[in-house]
Amino acid sequence: MINQKIFLVDPNRCLGCKTCQIACAVQHGLPPGVFLRKVELVELSGPAQIIKYYISTSCHHCANPECFRLCSEGAYRKLRNGVVVFDQAKCTGCGTCLGSCPFGAPIINPLNGKVIKCDMCYGKIEDHESPYCVASCPVGALKVIDAEDVKGMALDLKRRLPGMPRIEITQPSVRYVAVAMGQQIFRRRVPREGGRE
Q: Spell out the per-residue pLDDT of the chain, length 197, in tens.
A: 567 899 999 999 999 999 999 999 999 999 999 999 999 999 887 777 788 899 999 999 999 999 999 999 999 999 999 999 999 999 999 999 999 999 999 999 999 999 999 999 999 999 999 999 999 999 999 999 998 888 878 788 898 888 777 888 899 999 999 987 555 444 444 444 544 44
Sort 124 into a burial class: Cβ within 10 Å, 0-12 / 13-18 / 19+: middle
pTM: 0.84
Instruction: Collect all residues with Cβ–Cβ distance below 8 Å to 33 and sequence separation of at least 6.
Output: none
Beta bridge partners of 51: 44, 185
Please choose, from the candidates 179, 138, 139, the residue with its C-alpha nearest in 3D space to the C-alpha of residue 41: 179
CATH code, domain carrying 138: 3.30.70.20
Instruction: State the Cα–Cα distance between residues 118 and 70, nearest whole angstrom.
Output: 18
Q: What is the pLDDT of residue 94?
A: 94
* CA separation, residue 153 to residues 15, 57, 97, 159, 183 (Å): 23, 21, 34, 14, 20
Domain boundaries, position 161: 5-195
Q: What is the pLDDT of residue 96?
A: 93
Instruction: State the Cα–Cα distance between residues 56 and 118, nearest whole angstrom.
Output: 13
Q: How many domains does the chain have?
A: 1
